[in-house]
Structure formats: structure tokens, C-alpha cells
Chain A
């Protein structure tokens, strides 16, 4: 008897099918990957199984019995839990308090207080059982992303979860943290918990899952056994067509080109960046890589002028930026593609048009009055050029898919005709097609004389895109590599065993 069996599941929004005729079985103790491009119906599927949406057709069987999952509470009582990208924790509650969120606290007789001791004891037992370490006395807001993910999994296990959905759980984790998470997942699996793992990262999918279900345009493109497929055939299944796995990267002949960006001895007031020095030439894509917390994002923010610096020089095209600020940066042709699309890049309830022209509004105004016709025309050009899927320039960006939202962010960046792109995880949470479009766009910009600083946690992606790699560790730039012929191993070696180039080797000393 299967743990979960789904037959011909349908869900429509208006006249469009979000999901149609999807069937799937999940066995206990199985890790099952769910993949597909953005908008393929993965989120809809999760929401149907966890009771957020009600299906318009089809049946769900739970342990052989037909069930009707009416709300998330219902799903939880059955033993279905979901760990989201944006974690569901109360920021100023401690780990222990969050662990018991929504559950009955063990109480003294006559409501004379909560039995914290019992809670603590139970929590410790759970931690031992799963073999993980979570600082339960810490407030959730002070925890690292991994700790928060582990805490949520702990919570799911505590309430007797039999089926666990993980939605892009490694998006903000370092490799080391990812390993820790994977060990936990294998441990859960051995205890009979079924896991549905949703991710864009195919390497992880291949490592974890036995079976992979591919969704495409709301339909089942197929369920395959891991050993029967490879990455390329899986991508083909997801896209329904061949994609060039990677456009051939042109080797930049840039050694004689002038510097676009030079950074020397940069330190931020909060010391998240302590000592950064690197440079980018015209036509170059330079990757900045490091483990989480190494200060990559902070470095970009300091250059762009939204994180105050306390010393160091930033030079743009030979001009010293003594007081960087977003306004100055935009004027000097620097754009920032922030990591947090919803929080820092887009104004979700404004239209595509309003979002795209925001930083260059002065080009569309005469004495402060907006020239709507010109603005609309240029925005529509952008939408066509970047192939943004939308109903029109007036559509609110919140109605777009993640990939299309990111295209809006790029469209806006292109509006100011920048010479330097600072990109922070620009392909996070976007589908394969958009990802390769973004890569191509940045390459074109570099070939046309632009320069790009590229931050990504995906090392494979970095090696594919960047000409050079600057490695950061604990707020400092420690070394640099040319990416030609560089292997992932040698970069990781450098990150996990950092040693400054200038420092003499201590090997062999007493």
C-alpha cells in the first residue's frame, strides 16, 4: 500500500489549467524529486496536497484511503508537512517556542503554567534521534538559514510527519550546510518518512532521489527512475525540447583593456567586509565566490553604496567614488541586481512599466511631469526584447512568475545603460530557460564593453559564466583564479582551507 497516491489531479484558475491529470504515487521511506520549470505546476501540486487549494478533479489516497484535504491543519493531522523557501517561524520566538508553535504546550494542572522542562526534554530526545544540532535557546531571527530549516524539519518530525515536502531548501545554504541537511534527509528516510524534494538544482536531485517526477505546463511529463536518466535527458524532459547546455564562452582578451572597477582595502562599518581588493576590466565577467557569510553580498552592497564603508577605495573608470550611494552609482553606470527580488528589487504592487522606469524616471520627465506615451513605448520594447511573458506593460509584477520577474529586474537595469553589473544570485529560483537567457544577456553586455561582477552559490554556474573567480573568506578577498581549466574541487579546497596568498606557507613548520 502506497503512502500517497494521487490520481488525475486537476486544478484550474479561471479557464486555465494550473495542473491537469497529474497522477503520482509516493512510497513510505522514499525520496522523490519533483522538478520542472517555473510555472510548471510544482507549487500548485504542493498546495493541493497540503490543503491550501482544493482540487477541481481527481482523487487523493492516503495510506490506501480516499481523503479530502480541506485545509493545511487537515494535512498536518494526516502527517503531511511542508518546508517552504520562506520559512514559517516567528522571528522573536526561541527555537523551542517555535518548535511547539501551533501545538499543544504541555501544561501544569489547572493551567498553572507551561511545562518548559518537558518540552526541553522532548526536544533533546528528538535532536538525538535525528542526530542534528539546533540551538533551541536562540531566537529564530538570530539563526542561520540552515538552523532555521533544521528547526522546521524538527517541528515536522515532532508532530509525526510521514510525508515531508521540501521546496528549494538549499537555496541559501552553503555546500557544507547542504551536506548536513542531506544527512538529515537520509536519516529521515531510513526511519520511513517519505520526502518530496522540489529543486532546480539537478545535482542534488540526482544525489538524493530514487525517482524523479517531471512536470511541464501543469502536466505530468513523466516519472523516471534516477538511474535511467542523466542531467541532459532530464532537462530535455522538463523543457520538452533540446537546450544548449551552455553557450560556448568566449575567452576574453581583456588583459589590455582598461579597468572598469577597482576596489582596494575596502572595509564596511559593520565589518561584514573586512579587507576586499579586486578589479574588473572592460569586457570581463568576474565571479565572487565564497561560503555563506563570507561577505559576497555585502561586498556588492558596499560598492553600490547601500552598506556604509569605513575605509578603502572604490574606483569606477578611473574616477574615485568617495561617497558611494545608489544615486551616484546609477549616474556612473553601475547597477545592482539584488539577491532578494521581492524584498529589494521590485515593487510588487506596481506595474511592469513603473518598475522598469523607476531609476531612470528623470529621462521621462520634463519639469517633473512624466511623458506617459514615451514611457509606455520604451517599456513595451523592453518586454518584447527580453521576452517577458505578461499581459502588457500595465500588469502588476506580482502576477508574473519568478523568472519573468527577474527579467523585469534586468530590463530595469538595462534602462540606465550600465557599464558595470553587480549581480547577486541572479538566477536563483528561475527556470532553466530564463537562466540561460540571463547568462547570454550578461555575456552580450560584456562583449559589448560592459563589465560584470557575478555572485552565485552555484559553483558550477560560476565556472560556466565567469572569466575569473575572486574567492572571499570571512570578509576578505583571499585569492583569485582564472576559470579556464579550473575545477570545482580546487575552488572548494581554497574555500574550506583558506590561506591568504601573501601569507607564507606554514606547512613543515614544527
Chain B
């Protein structure tokens, strides 16, 4: 017996509820604080603020698509930022300052995947331990202090300059979101990742190379996390040994919010983007309204839980 579909507006609310919530939040802030929130400058500002979060959350979404978690993304961002700042101080050329840390992060991510697939260690445990290891290395590199002296001007280019009045960071964010949306929705690789997340045994029987694809997902996630850290260091013109750690929880909050929209219950890139945008807009709007930071955290947490609960209720 087939279950008959519910009325269409309910369906729409379920699929686009989170997007509608985002719009309502924007309208709410615009009404409460039209002079400072609803301005072009502030919109540009928000897009810059969320760029790090979006990039790291897109990586986390890839790993969530294969049914795993990478808890080392925050530590990896700190690691990437510090590593790259160190190289910049050493006077290495522009490309090396970015590509070497990205390559190393990719390799570490691959090792994460390898431990998970080869030895069947839970990704929770593997990446938590890897995050601890990375944290240790980061402190070793820096002696626990922020790197800010002798950072060349070129290192700050990506983080601080603008094209056509829009930050380069925002362009990078949009570009990566579009690329990874395309990869996940329209390529064989993306399809395979979703298949692995859906049913690993069946994927294996269907001839998918389980290990290679999973390892690659972990590697890309790590590289994106390191990139977020590098861009952050570039934006600040300094690198703090725990600078990226704070991105970890919001990144997963964004990915979980994202799962409630577009493709129900499935991690997806545009969903993650919207999730990150909601978190960023809330942070921005609440700061403008002078809500203390601790209350912002409470509000963000409540919104994530409510969104997931509402979506579950909608499904039944």
C-alpha cells in the first residue's frame, strides 16, 4: 500500500523550511535594526565572516555523506593557518605558502581515511586522536604564541583584498560551494560517496572501491579545513595556534542544519551553505543588537536542535 503524499504546501515547508527560516531571520533583523543590519556593507561583511565556516563545513559535509565524521577539522584549520604563516615568514613564494600546507593536510586526511577503512577504527576515534596530534604539532611549531611578526604583505592578499568591492574570500567561498555542489550532485564520485553513506556493503557489491573513495573524501575534507585556516590567518594577518578550533562545532551545526533542507536527511552542499549562512547572520545580527556572546551561543544551539526536531516531525 502506497502512502499518499501530504498536501503540497507542507511538502514545500519541509524541504525549504530552513531556507524560509533564514529569510525570516533576515527580515527580523532588518526590522529591528534597519540602519546597521539591512545595508549593503553589512551583507558584504556577513559574506566575508561566513566564508571560513562555509569552506570548512563543505568539507565536513563530504565526510558526512559517506556516513563518517571528521572531528579534526577545527585542529586542522589551526594547523593549516599556523603552518602557512610560518612558511610565509620564512619568505617562501606565494604559491608554496598555500600549496604546501594544503598538500600536507590532504595527506593527513588521507591517513585519517586509511586508518578508518584499513583498520576499521571508528572515524570518531580516529579523527579525535588526529585532532589532538595536530593540536600538539601546532603548539610545537609556535611555542604556543601567535605568529604575527614579519608576515609579508602578499600573504594577506587573499584574506584582505576585494574585487569590485566584494571580498576575495566571498568569491572563494562561492566558487568552492558551486564546485562541490556540482561534484556531489553531478559526478560519479559524488554519487559513489552518497552510495557509501547509504549502504557500504551494497556499494562494495556494486563494484565501488570503498577504501579509495572514502580515503579521498577524508583527504578533501582535511584540505578544505586547512584552507579555511589559511584564509583566516591571511585575513587576520596573524596565526594563532587555536585560531581554527572554534570553527569545528559551528561547521557541524551548519551541516546538520543543511541536512534539514533541499535533500531531506541527507548531507548536501547547498543545505550546508544555508546552514552556515543562518549561523553567520545570527552572529552578525545579534552582535548588532548587542546581545552578549554567550546568549548568541544559546540561541544558535536552540535553533539547530529545533530545526532538526521540526524536520523529524514533518516526516512522520
Contact = CB atoms under 8 A, between A and B. Distances in A.
A17 B2 CA distance: 9
Nearest to B266: A349
Nearest to A372: B186
Interface stretch (A22-30, A256-264, A337-345, A442-450): A337-345
Interface in A14-58: 14-18, 39, 41, 44
B6, B188, B208: which has the most chain A beta carbons within 10 Å? Answer: B188
B189 A343 contact: no
Interface in A338-363: 338, 343-350, 354, 358-359, 361-362
Contact of B187 (A343, A350, A365, A412): A365
Contact of B265 (A16, A306, A349, A372): A349
Interface stretch (A88-96, A129-137, A186-194, A326-334): A326-334
B265 to A, nearest CB: 7
A343 B188 CA distance: 22
B188 A370 contact: yes
Nearest to B201: A344
Interface in B166-221: 186-189, 191-192, 194-195, 198-199, 201-209
B1 A16 contact: yes
Contacts of B204: 306, 326
B187, B195, B206, B265: which has the most chain A beta carbons within 10 Å? Answer: B206
B191 A370 contact: yes
A348 B2 contact: no
Contacts of B1: 13, 16-18, 39, 41, 44, 218
B290 interface: no
B194 A350 contact: yes
A345 B188 contact: no
B200 to A, nearest CB: 9
A365 B183 CA distance: 12
B3 interface: yes
B199 to A, nearest CB: 4
A336 interface: yes
A508 interface: no
A348 B186 contact: no
A370 B201 contact: no
Contacts of A344: 199, 201-202, 205
B187 A358 contact: no
B205 A361 contact: no
B4 interface: yes
B165 interface: no
Contact of A370 (B5, B187, B203, B207): B187
A14 B4 CA distance: 5
A353 to B, nearest CB: 10
Interface residues of B, number: 27
A361 B192 contact: yes
Nearest to B265: A349
Contacts of B4: 13-16
A487 B65 CA distance: 51
A13 B6 CA distance: 10
A114 interface: no
A329 B204 CA distance: 12
Interface in B1-49: 1-6
B202, B204, B208: which has the most chain A beta carbons within 10 Å? Answer: B202
A254 B203 CA distance: 35
A329 B207 CA distance: 8
Nearest to A340: B201
Contact of B205 (A15, A304, A354, A391): A304
Given A350-B198, A368-B187, A338 B3 contact: no
Contacts of A327: 207, 209
A399 interface: yes
A384 B192 CA distance: 26
A39 B202 CA distance: 25
A370 B266 contact: no
A368 B189 contact: yes
A369 interface: yes
B188 A365 contact: yes
Contact of A16 (B2, B192, B207, B266): B2
A14, A218, A306, A399: which has the most chain B beta carbons within 10 Å? Answer: A14
Contacts of B5: 14
Contacts of B194: 347, 350, 354
A96 to B, nearest CB: 30
A359 B192 CA distance: 10
A369 B187 CA distance: 4
A358 B209 contact: no
A330 B188 CA distance: 17
5 nearest A-B pairs in the assembled complex, by CB-CB distance = A14-B4, A347-B198, A18-B1, A359-B206, A358-B206
Given A368-B188, A370-B188, 13 more contacts: A14-B2, A14-B6, A327-B209, A330-B207, A345-B205, A346-B202, A347-B202, A347-B203, A349-B265, A358-B206, A362-B188, A368-B187, A370-B187
26 contacts: A13-B1, A14-B6, A16-B1, A16-B3, A304-B205, A326-B204, A326-B206, A326-B208, A343-B201, A344-B199, A344-B201, A344-B202, A345-B202, A347-B194, A349-B198, A349-B266, A350-B194, A350-B195, A354-B191, A358-B206, A361-B191, A362-B188, A365-B188, A369-B186, A370-B187, A391-B2
Interface of A: 13-18, 39, 41, 44, 218, 304, 306, 326-327, 329-330, 336, 338, 343-350, 354, 358-359, 361-362, 364-365, 368-370, 372, 391, 399, 412
Interface of B: 1-6, 186-189, 191-192, 194-195, 198-199, 201-209, 265-266
